[in-house]
Amino acid sequence: MIRTDLLVVGSGVAGLYAALCATARGMSTTLLTKDKLADSNSWYAQGGLSAVGPDGIAAGDSVASHVADTLTAGARLNDEDAVATMCSTAWDHVQALLETGAVFDTEADGTLALGLEAAHNHPRILHAGGDATGKGLASALIAACRIQEADGKLEIREHAFVTALLTEANPEADEPAFRGTRVCGARVLDANGGTEEIGARAVLLATGGAGQLFAATTNPAGATGDGAALAYRAGAAVADAEFIQFHPTLVSPGGFMVSEAVRGEGAVLLNQYGERFMRRIHPAAELAPRDVVARAIHGVRAEGGTVHLDARAVEATRGPGFLARRFPSITAELARLGYDLATQLVPVTPAAHYWMGGILTNDTGATTLPGLYAAGEAACTGVHGANRLASNSLLEALVFAWRTVVNLPGDPWGIAPDGNLPESNATITLLDVPGPDMTPSSGAGTDMELTALQALAQRYLGVERTEQGLRAALAQLQSWSVQGTDRASHERANLRTVAMLVATAALRREASVGAHHRLDAPRAGAPTHGQSPRYAQRALGATTELNLRTKTLV
């Protein structure tokens, strides 16, 4: 049944980069995307790409500092080995992007411009087009993929939505359900409602996040948690599901995200009294980690107040037109909404932005199911811990997409054949626990509407959570079912799966840490090194042999 060596699902930076790496190695490769190639979270990323290069080192930065900042932002619930791998190889991928045709912003002397963002101790953020880094990188990668397609080395299928992973049993194994099973392809729904099965030696899920679970999100419409839901239903483990990062500054009303790079340039947050309330909450004020800023804004709004982003002093200090030059896309979009960043206060609210959880992988992309790999936001490498450091997402996507492809085994039943993989991170205990039962608890269940799910998630799974609310959410989720076989129905089903994984993990983690904040445990604080476990959930009955050689599961 094999039709391709590697089937890549998703056209964000991770999927595009993986496809290019695979074709460069002579692998027959098929790239699927459920919309157009440019419809991805990566495309809309305003922030930058964090990397420590020669100029940063000369100015006092270091890879060790990047590692330290990543661990601090993640409440030290990160996989330190994965963090070290990502930070130490970052500049190699910057060079690769430049060779691919990507263009980064530069200073007047031609050196790459380095920006500062929240929770970074040094300027190390590369941008493209000021505030359109994702679009710039994705455009370069798409152009490179189209060249490979024209040369017959890459098959690209747009409007191809994966509805299920195909699995096959190992003929040499005589084990219970899921054990001795590998992923061997995918079932695909096309734009006309037709279905097709595509076989592959390896399937790489790079489907992005799940922001559409929430009513307020920075994510595009296609961010429906497809990869995690597909993997979970096939029997793979999903980890760190409780950790969802909320971006502090979604324009409200308006629904447009303003990058924290604006705060990096000096913009501040004001409450309804015109006070800079962040200064009494965190030493870094507006440049505190995102979870801190998001909770602070949520707190003001929960008490009936308002929060505004104020960049007027930045414009006054840097000169007329500075904000428009530095943030052209943001300036244009705000103007469309009736706001002028240079002269007006802009109302903001927190919104679902990035899922630190996802399909559990090792540092070469292998999941707990042979034949299945994951990269980008769909994956959980452990890099981000309890809270992602700003501008690490594009970097993680590049580093681990590349590592996945170059370590793919020749044997489709094997795992990454690298005998020198790092030892398990002894400071983290990863508990493998049964995941939630996805079947409705009352017969066929009530057909779930997307708006009802989003309202539930906004209320119970958002910036602040409680045991009572999480149990109410799970009860409601189990009373719902999703009917229909069209794409929208599959997406609703995927979001319901993700919601149950998030609620179950959030209920299990009783202490507040990072982006997971329990009002009924507000003083638990961040765990010290090694004191708090991470949780991996697998479907009931999933008993696959764990093949993650860089993790310790008990």
Helix, strand or coil, per DSSP, at residue 291? helix
Q: Which helix (H) or strand (E) holds 163?
A: strand 160-169
Q: Which residues pair with 503 in a beta bridge?
A: none
- pLDDT for the residue numbered 206: 98
Find, among 247, 241, 217, the residue nearest to 497 by Cα.
Answer: 241
> By the 8 A CB rule, do 521 and 512 touch?
yes
Closest CA to 209 of 81, 109, 356: 356
**Number of Cβ within a 10 Å radius of residue 502:** 30
What distance in Å separates the CA atoms of residue 485 and residue 199, rounded to the nearest whole number?
22
Side chain identity, residue 350? P
| Backbone torsions φ then ψ of 287, nearest 5 degrees | -100, 20
Cis peptide before 283, with omega less than 30 degrees from 0?
no
The total of other beta-carbon atoms located within 10 Å of residue 179's CB is 16
Residue 547: its pLDDT value, please? 38
* Residue pLDDT tens, the chain, 554 long: 669 999 999 999 999 999 999 999 999 999 999 999 988 878 877 779 999 999 999 999 999 999 999 999 999 999 999 999 999 999 999 999 999 999 999 999 999 999 988 789 999 999 999 888 999 999 999 999 999 999 999 999 999 999 999 999 876 665 544 557 899 999 999 999 999 999 999 999 999 999 999 999 999 999 999 999 999 999 999 999 999 999 999 998 888 999 888 998 999 999 999 999 999 999 999 988 888 899 999 999 999 999 999 999 999 999 999 999 999 999 999 999 999 999 999 999 999 999 999 999 999 999 999 999 999 999 999 999 999 998 999 999 999 999 999 999 877 765 433 322 223 344 556 787 778 878 887 656 799 999 999 999 999 999 999 999 999 999 999 999 999 999 999 999 999 999 999 999 999 999 899 999 999 986 655 554 455 788 999 986 654 443 343 343 33
Q: Is there a contact between 148 and 101 (Cβ–Cβ < 8 Å)? A: no
CB-CB neighbours of 312 under 10 Å: 17
Say how many C-beta atoms besides its own lie within 10 A of residue 253's C-beta.
Answer: 9
pLDDT value of residue 2? 67
Closest CA to 453 of 477, 418, 487: 477
Residues marked active site are found at 290
Nearby residues of 107 by Cβ (< 8 Å), 6 or more positions away = 113
- Cα separation, 403 vs 406, in Å, equals 5
> What is the pLDDT at residue 172?
64
Look at residues 342, 286, 279 and name the one whose alpha carbon lies nearest to residue 314. 342
* Contact assessment for residue 494 and residue 164, using Cβ atoms and an 8 Å cutoff: no
Query: Beta strand pairing status for 160-169 and 181-190?
Result: antiparallel
In the chain, domain spans = 249-350, 428-538
Considering the four listed CATH numbers 1.10.1660.10, 1.10.10.10, 1.20.58.100, 2.40.40.20, the one that applies to the domain covering 428-538 is 1.20.58.100
Q: Are 217 and 30 in contact (CB under 8 A)?
A: no
Backbone angles phi, psi at 435, to 5 degrees: -85, 180
Are β-strands 29-32 and 2-9 bridged in parallel, bridged antiparallel, or unpaired?
parallel
Cite the DSSP H helix spans in 219-364. Answer: 226-234, 261-264, 290-302, 312-318, 322-326, 328-337
| pLDDT for position 435 | 83
Q: What is the DSSP string of 491-530?
A: HHHHHHHHHHHHHHHHHH--S-BTTB-BTTSTT--PPPTT
Edge-to-edge strands, sheet with 244-251:
244-251, 346-355, 307-310, 268-271
CA dihedral 432, 242, 540, 375 (to 10 degrees): -80
Total count of residues recorded for the chain: 554
**Angle subtended at Cα 169 by Cα 165 and Cα 171, rounded to the nearest 5 degrees:** 155
CATH pick for 249-350 out of 3.30.960.10, 3.90.700.10, 3.30.300.30, 3.40.309.10:
3.90.700.10
Backbone angles phi, psi at 61, to 5 degrees: -80, 170
pLDDT of residue 410: 78
Which residues contact residue 194 at a Cβ distance below 8 angstroms, ignoring those fewer than 6 apart?
Answer: none
All residues at 6 or more sequence positions from 232 whose CB lies less than 8 Å from its CB, including other chains: 238, 359, 435, 497, 501, 537, 538, 539
3-state secondary structure of 51: coil
Contact 43/129 with Cβ under 8 angstroms?
Answer: no
